[in-house]
A = this chain, B = another copy of it.
């Protein structure tokens, strides 16, 4: 495991400068092994093995098994994990991600609905960005004017 993981880290570090953020594109372009064990995926993505199993359980990723019943992540599965992680990073609810991947599984006819889902989420992200910038302004104000009391 650690051999493969180290190889992955080397790959990434020689491809780009730093380890995170692990983008979807990076994973796609990377010379990632065709098959990875759960611990390798965990090390690569920063998602714990427990959480990877959970994601599979609730239908966010499909993962094949080897003869002994162990999970085998192929490149698609790893890409899916990274994609899901990105969506979670932006606070997309699990239920919405479930809906999205269910639509993907149902085939191309669901593309309009997927698109709508993504656009709705895009709006959520933009709202969140505005909230954060507002909060940042408040905190910055507090920091720069420290000593002034005002409602704190």
Show the binding face of A for B, using Cβ within 8 Å: 21, 23-24, 27-28, 76, 79-80, 82-83, 86-87, 89-90, 100-101, 104, 108, 111, 114-115, 118-119, 121-122, 125-126, 128-129, 131-136, 138-143, 146-147, 150-152
Contacts and interface: CB of A to CB of B under 8 A. Distances in A.
Given A79-B150, A143-B119, A132 B90 contact: yes
Contacts of A139: 87, 90, 118, 121-122, 125
A98 to B, nearest CB: 14
Contacts of A133: 129
A126 B140 CA distance: 11
Contacts of A90: 131-132, 135-136, 139
